[in-house]
Amino acid sequence: MKLTVNEKEYEVEVSGNPNLLEVLREQIDLTGTKYGCGEGACGACKVLVNGTPTSACITPAVSVQGKNIITVEGLVKNGQLHPVQKAFLEEDVFQCAYCASGMAIAAIGLLSKQRELTEQEIKEGMNGNICRCCTYPEIIKAIKKASENKINL
């Protein structure tokens, strides 16, 4: 089966009905997308599927055939960080950073739905993503900054 990831086509093996996370990490070697819980409860494995943040760990790979999948590795364009990545980096958000890719994907999904966000809207929109180091206030600040910058997504 063919899978379109970060605007590239890959031939992948789906006979054992793997989920999208397993295919990305083990077949395409895109390991920026992380395993955290295996039940879509922590957000570490989020990728964009046709622009919508989706938990790859509960998404059968066969279900996203023909769709556009963007992982954290696909966010950098022409050597430039995505504005949300840039905001995270500038605000120096992370501690262990294992949640970082899922956070970036979720934030991009949120901002693409609504460009201007209040703190409460960010909390609600991001609630599916866990940062176990609990850097939530810093992440909120970075998303707020990206929101205020009227960034081009």
Partner 1 sequence: MKSLKEKLKGRLSKIDEKAGKSLPPQNISRRNFFKKMGAGIATYVVMTDVLAFQVLGSDAPLKDEDQLASWIHLSDSGKVTVFTGKVEVGQNIRTSLSQVVAEELSISIEHIELIMGDTQQTPYDRGTYGSLTTPQMAPILRKAAANLREMLLQQAKEEWKLGKVKLELEKGFVHHPSNGGKLSYGDLAKGKQWMKKMDEEVPTVDPEAWKTAGTSVRKVNGIDFITGTHRYVSDMSVPGMVYGKILRPPYIGAKLKSVNTGKAAGLDGVEIVQQDDFVGVTAKDSRTASVALAMIEAEWETSPQLSGKDLFSHLVNTGKDQTAIGNALESEYLISDKQLDQEFLVQYIAHVPLEPRAGLALWKGDELQVWTGTQRPFGVQEELQRTFDLPKEKIRVYMPDTGSGYGGKHTGEAGIEAARLAKAVKNPVKVNWTREEEFKWAYFRPAGVIRVKASTQNGHLSAWDFHNFNSGGAAIEAPYEIKEKNHQYHSADSPLRQGSYRALASTANVFAIEAQINDLASANQKDPLEFRLTHLKNERLSNLIKITADAFGWGKRIKRTNIGFGMACGAAKGGYVATFAEVKVDPDTRELEILKVTGGFECGAILNPRHLKSQVVGCMLQGLGGALFESVEFDNGDIKNASLSSYRVPRFKDTPKIEVILVDRKDLPSSGAGEAPIIGIAPAIRNAIFDATGVKINQLPMLPNGLVPVNS
Q: Applying CB under 8 A, which residues contact partner 1?
A: 16-19, 22, 25-27, 29-39, 41-42, 44, 71-73, 75-76, 81, 85, 88-89, 92, 94-101, 104, 122-124, 126-127, 129-140
Q: Residue 69 or residue 75: which is nearer to partner 1 going by CB?
A: 75
Q: What's the min distance (Å) between Cβ of 112 and partner 1?
A: 18
Q: What's the min distance (Å) between Cβ of 109 and partner 1?
A: 14
Q: Residue 54 or residue 85: which is nearer to partner 1 going by CB?
A: 85
Is residue 98 packed enough to be buried (19+ CB in 10 Å), middle (13-18) or exposed (0-12)? middle
d(CA 80, CA 15): 37
Q: What's the min distance (Å) between Cβ of 22 and partner 1?
A: 5
Are the C-beta atoms of 21 and 69 separated by less than 8 Å? no
Q: What's the min distance (Å) between Cβ of 88 and partner 1?
A: 5
Residue from 104, 87, 81 nearest 32 by CA: 104
Q: What's the min distance (Å) between Cβ of 149 and partner 1?
A: 16
Q: Residue 4 or residue 88: which is nearer to partner 1 going by CB?
A: 88
Are the C-beta atoms of 17 and 60 separated by less than 8 Å? yes
Q: Residue 18 or residue 53: which is nearer to partner 1 going by CB?
A: 18
Q: Residue 49 or residue 139: which is nearer to partner 1 going by CB?
A: 139
Edge to edge, what strands does the sheet with 52-55 contain?
8-11, 2-5, 68-70, 46-49, 52-55
What are φ and ψ of residue 138, in 5° steps? -70, -40
